[in-house]
Amino acid sequence: MKQNKAKSVVALVIFIALLALFGYTAVYGWGETKSGSGEDIKLGLDLEGGVSITYQVVGEEDPSAADMSDTIYKLQKRVEGYSTEAQVYQEGSDRISIEIPGVDDANEILEALGRPGSLEFYDVNGELVLEGTDVVDAQAASSQTEMGSTDYQVRLTLTDEGAEKFSKATGEAAPNHDPIFIVYDNAIISYPAVQQQITDGNCVITNMESIEAAQNLASTIRIGGLTLTLEELRSNVVGAQLGSDAIRTALIAGVAGFAIIAVFMIAVYFLPGLAAVLALVMYVELVVILLGSFNITLTLPGIAGIILGIGMAVDANVIIFARIREELATGKTAASSVKIGFNKALSAIIDGNITTLIAAVVLGLRGTGAVKGFAQTLALGIILSMFTAVFITRIILNTLMGLGLNSVKLFGVAKEKKPIGFLGKKHLFFGVSAAVVLVGFVVMGVQKGGGNGALNYSLDFMGGTQTTVTFAEDYSIERLDAEVVPGIEKITGDANVQAQKVTGGNQVIFKTRTLSVEEREELNTMLEENFTLDKTYPITAETISSTISSEAQMDAIVAVAIATVCMLLYIWFRFKDIRFGASAVIALIHDVLVVLAFYAVTRVSVGSTFIACMLTIVGYSINATIVIFDRIRENMKSMTRRDDLQELVNHSITQTLSRSLFTSLTTFIMVAALYVFGVSSIREFALPLMAGILCGTYSSVCITGALWYVLRTKIKQKEEAK
């Protein structure tokens, strides 16, 4: 006994030391480079600012909308190499602006990105073989030769049409090993010899002198493969869109929310709650360290992913603790109950986390911009939450019990609950849900008919007007928000105004909805009459496109569709019943439509955070649904009568009710703290999330089990009728 207690003391000391080490690393970093600290976390344009570069189309006086759209989309894909949160949008009729967060040297980006220009491939007879638009991608790589040396390469991927043209050209060049000349801006940048005919559209340029040379050539080929030829018009460094207060208030909200959750967990779950809080502290520390180490860009959508991760970490602990209390109620010892409780909770935790992780992986691979950034932070949060809940919490709990803290009073015992008749009210629940969704569509129709738009789309989706003003003195973002922005909002009649400072001067960029000529004149007059401007620089206004292109929107829709199908297939595979998967997907659609109705009724701005908000709700909802389905599956194994299915579903929902309510409450607390302490833009982001959490709780408790029951009984009746 003394030996076990000594081991527990050592384990506790080691854990506390690790907690202190991770905490120190999260604040100050580790190693000579001090990497991994919170200061290493890359922040997006909304939180930190970055580099803004504007390109001008050359060679074409009036480029087509299709060419501009294609070029913007390709540039978006390429600048994501610097940050997933980079933005590319059209300015005027023939300009393209790029904004890359977390960078303060425009020249560095320009040098690395290169000047987009014309790229062409010629054979030895001077005949054009390929154009830059025939190249899908170019990447630097390396491989080992038979002699053991390193061969640096550039690997090209061509379009189907390009592959066909290149097959013919390389077939003619291969017998004599003739070169193919790669010409960029009328200068030969490479002339690799053709060794054999290339028919599959994948070719490799070998024998590069260094990996740097391979990377430079690949970059030049990528940037030269644009539809239009561009040249730099201007570049500057811009400040954070939300101001320094956004980060400070978000941190305050995080600390306040975490403190409330800690008190709640300990008050409700006693000793296990304390173990969960310690594990959550380690979770937060590891999130900070890995965000800095993996160079993941953090923005408001990223914060949503972290919040969902914290919610899932709490959720896993709540599931485990509920199971432990159920085992204690049967008279088992604390040690035995903990062991069995963790084992019984494992399937629900794994299924819920893997289902959400599948969505995160698909969104990361298929999504762009904010969607990709959200997916990265969500995936990181899921993996860490599962690790800390399943392993760290268990280690801490066993250590505390090893110190003699194993009294049943320190755990609490589950009380037998009479099943609540949820399914008896299923028609009422279905009716309420249908009514809310219908109201949403009606409001959207009325708003659209009135010329206000079905939803309050922001600049991210609709584009607008960019007004550049140079003040005679330096204005902070906070001062601009307090003194200048209200006047602009009064003129536009829209609260969706973005103010962005240009670093190193007094120039400020205001982005608003599209303004008419009269509104532009009114805005200029307001600025000139109420503020002292630098007359050296006139006020300029340009029409800008949406920062989320139609292609990016389609990428997001396709990604969500693929993720939904993958989740459906996984649930089908795990539960051996397609009706579980179908019910879960219907509930997801329900939650999305209800939150969409909330956006329509409240007119909350629909911007880049809208996508992240919807994805957060989907992840939250599917996890809650899995927990209930897991309990139904378990209880079905002990069914003895054919007519007690409704009672079984009611009993399963009742058994998991405390989990549903407690997890929703803790996640709601985190988001509510953001709403209370956050700046206006963060509140606009937090408000729909709170609505989504309430909706997700309602659907998981009142809708999903009832849907599964209806599908199962209806399909079964049809089968029996045959």
Of 33-37, 147-151, 457-461, 517-521, which one has max mean pLDDT? 517-521
Q: Is the C-alpha dihedral spanning 338, 339, 340, 344 positive or negative?
A: positive
| DSSP conformation letters of 183-239 | EETTEEEE-PBP-S---SSEEEEEEES-HHHHHHHHHHHHHHT-SSEEEEEEEEEEE
Q: In whole angstroms, how large is the CA radius of gyration of the chain?
A: 29
Is the CB of residue 666 less than 8 Å from the CB of residue 281? no
Q: What is the pLDDT of residue 721?
A: 44
Q: What is the pLDDT of residue 722?
A: 44
- In this structure, of 345-359, 393-407, 582-596, the range with the lowest mean pLDDT score is 345-359
Average pLDDT taken over every residue of the chain: 83
- In this structure, of 162-176, 254-268, 547-561, 591-605, the range with the lowest mean pLDDT score is 547-561
Q: What is the pLDDT of residue 566?
A: 86
Q: What is the pLDDT of residue 31?
A: 58
Task: List all residues 6 or more positions away from 491 whose beta carbon is below 8 Å from its beta carbon.
Answer: 519, 522, 523, 526
Mean pLDDT value across residues 454-467: 83
What confidence tens digit (pLDDT) does each residue in 224-279 have?
Answer: 767 777 777 777 777 666 655 666 777 787 788 888 889 999 999 999 999 999 99
CATH architecture, domain 119-225: 2-Layer Sandwich (3.30)
What confidence tens digit (pLDDT) does each residue in 629-682 have?
Answer: 988 988 888 877 665 889 999 999 998 898 888 888 888 888 888 888 876 667
What confidence tens digit (pLDDT) does each residue in 15-65 have?
Answer: 999 999 988 888 777 755 555 666 667 776 666 667 878 888 887 778 888
What confidence tens digit (pLDDT) does each residue in 505-526 have?
Answer: 788 888 888 888 899 999 999 9
Among 670, 566, 663, 574, which residue's Cα sits nearest to residue 624?
A: 663
Measured between alpha carbons, how far is 679 from 245 in angstroms, rounded to an integer?
7
Q: Is 465 helix (H, G, I), strand (E, B) or coil?
A: strand
| Residue 114, phi-psi category: left (phi > 0), alpha (psi -120 to 50), beta (remainder) | left
pTM over 0.85: no
Distance from the Cα of residue 129 to its chain's centroid: 41
Q: What is the pLDDT of residue 695?
A: 92
- In this structure, of 48-52, 134-138, 217-221, the range with the lowest mean pLDDT score is 48-52
In this prediction, what percent of the chain has a pLDDT beyond 70? 88
Measured between alpha carbons, how far is 72 from 475 in angstroms, rounded to an integer?
32
Q: Is the C-alpha dihedral spanning 571, 576, 581, 583 positive or negative?
A: negative
Q: What is the pLDDT of residue 2?
A: 60
Measured between alpha carbons, how far is 283 from 9 in angstroms, rounded to an integer?
22
Question: How confident is residue 108, by pLDDT bands cut at 50, 70 and 90?
Answer: low
| Residue 63, phi-psi category: left (phi > 0), alpha (psi -120 to 50), beta (remainder) | beta
Mean pLDDT value across residues 410-424: 87
Measured between alpha carbons, how far is 593 from 100 in angstroms, rounded to an integer?
33
Q: What is the pLDDT of residue 110?
A: 64
Q: What is the pLDDT of residue 719?
A: 44
Is the CB of residue 245 less than 8 Å from the CB of residue 679? yes
- Cα–Cα–Cα angle for 617, 620, 623, nearest 5°? 145
Q: What is the pLDDT of residue 170?
A: 92
464-544: CATH, from 3.40.50.10210, 3.30.1370.60, 3.30.70.100, 3.30.70.920: 3.30.70.100
- In this structure, of 9-13, 150-154, 492-496, 700-704, the range with the lowest mean pLDDT score is 492-496
Q: Percentages helix, strand, coil for the chain, rounded to the nearest 5? A: 60, 15, 20
Q: What is the pLDDT of residue 111?
A: 61
Instruction: Give the start-to-end residue ranges of the domains of the chain.
Output: 54-111, 119-225, 244-436+550-716, 464-544
- In this structure, of 136-140, 194-198, 555-559, the range with the lowest mean pLDDT score is 555-559
Question: How confident is residue 165, by pLDDT bands cut at 50, 70 and 90?
Answer: very high
Measured between alpha carbons, how far is 362 from 342 in angstroms, rounded to an integer?
29
- In this structure, of 134-138, 360-364, 368-372, the range with the lowest mean pLDDT score is 368-372
In this prediction, what percent of the chain has a pLDDT beyond 90? 23
Is the CB of residue 611 less than 8 Å from the CB of residue 556? yes
Mean pLDDT value across residues 60-81: 78
Q: What is the pLDDT of residue 113?
A: 59
- In this structure, of 21-30, 457-466, 551-560, the range with the lowest mean pLDDT score is 551-560
Is the CB of residue 314 less than 8 Å from the CB of residue 347? no
| Residue 295, phi-psi category: left (phi > 0), alpha (psi -120 to 50), beta (remainder) | left
Length of the chain: 722
Q: What is the pLDDT of residue 44?
A: 67
Count of C-beta atoms within a 10 Å radius of residue 16: 11
